[in-house]
């Protein structure tokens, strides 16, 4: 992507920005001139992502979205380093799959704690800053699994369905503060999510396709609000 500076002066946070959809989104935002903070759990891939994003205004923070202390620190980093926060992309997510009778309580808590409660923690920390700033964007990365539940996906599908409802409620709650909230629900994206083998998966979405939707949202004119985007491969593999 070419640098066009349309987001120059804006400050963004992308959770789970060390790889996959999060890294592609951070690249897209940085290429448009946004100062960007990426976060993830593991130090080494996070540092590699920071380097890959180049010499621009980029910070990397090790922060677990399950921890309210970590997410508060993440938002504080954006404010300290770049003076505020305009765009929050709640992308960090995890999948653990298995039938309910076999799924451990730890796996259930990890999935719901990351994909749903983690988004609450980030929004809770970010909204006062956005209110002070007079507005902003919160984009939550859900999944088509939130509306198309499948066997073995109880934890993941429930976490994303919960995130869809959370996002709708939040959108109604903060819109008069100038904070625009949307959910993006992709189908299959070729990222190796949850240890998946992506051999022969050329039909899937690319992480950059999701990043493009996020850019389109933050650049969308303010009179209208595209509050939910479903993104599918144009020609999914035939069953």
Q: How far apart are CA 142 and CA 164, in angstroms?
A: 7
Which residues on neighbouring strands pair with residue 62, listed in sequence order? 40
Identity of the residue, 9 or 73, whose beta carbon is nearer to ligand NAP in the bound complex: 73
| Residue 95 CB, nearest approach to ligand NAP (Å) | 6
Single out the catalytic residue among 82, 120, 156, 166: 156
| Residue 93 CB, nearest approach to ligand NAP (Å) | 2
Q: How far apart are CA 6 and CA 181, in angstroms?
A: 20
Identity of the residue, 31 or 64, whose beta carbon is nearer to ligand NAP in the bound complex: 64
Helix, strand, coil in percent for the chain, rounding step 5 = 45, 15, 40
Determine the residue with CB nearest ligand NAP. 93
| Residue 131 CB, nearest approach to ligand NAP (Å) | 24
176 is catalytic: no
Cα–Cα nearest to 183, from 91, 92, 118, 108: 91
153 contributes a contact to ligand NAP by CB under 6 A:
no
Q: Spell out the residues 6+ positions from residue 159 whose beta carbon is closer than 8 angstroms to its own.
A: 111, 112, 114, 115, 116
Return the residues of window 24-83 that contact ligand NAP according to CB under 6 A.
Answer: 39-42, 45, 64-66
> Catalytic amino acids?
156
């Amino acid at each position: 992507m070419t640098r066009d500076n349309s987001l120059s002066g804006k400050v963004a946070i992308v959770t789970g920005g060390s790889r996959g959809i999060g890294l592609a989104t951070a690249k897209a935002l940085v290429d448009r001139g946004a100062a960007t903070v990426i976060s993830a759990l593991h130090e080494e891939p996070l540092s590699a992502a920071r380097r890959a994003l180049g010499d621009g205004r980029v910070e990397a923070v090790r922060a677990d979205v399950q921890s309210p202390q970590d997410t508060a620190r993440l938002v504080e980093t954006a404010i300290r380093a770049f003076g505020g926060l305009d765009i929050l992309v709640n992308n960090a997510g995890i999948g653990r799959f298995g039938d309910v009778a076999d799924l451990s309580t730890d796996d259930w808590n990890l999935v719901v704690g990351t994909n749903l409660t983690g988004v609450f923690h980030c929004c809770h920390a970010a909204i006062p800053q956005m209110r002070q700033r007079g507005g902003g964007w919160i984009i939550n990365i859900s999944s088509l699994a939130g509306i198309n539940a499948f066997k073995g996906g109880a934890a993941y599908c429930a976490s994303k369905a919960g995130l869809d409802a959370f996002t709708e409620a939040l959108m109604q709650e903060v819109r008069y503060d100038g904070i625009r909230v949307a959910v993006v629900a992709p189908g299959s994206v070729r990222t190796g999510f949850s240890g998946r083998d992506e051999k022969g998966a050329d039909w899937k979405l690319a992480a950059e396709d999701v990043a493009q939707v996020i850019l389109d949202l933050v650049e969308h004119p303010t009179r209208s609000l595209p509050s939910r985007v479903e993104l599918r491969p144009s020609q999914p593999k035939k069953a």
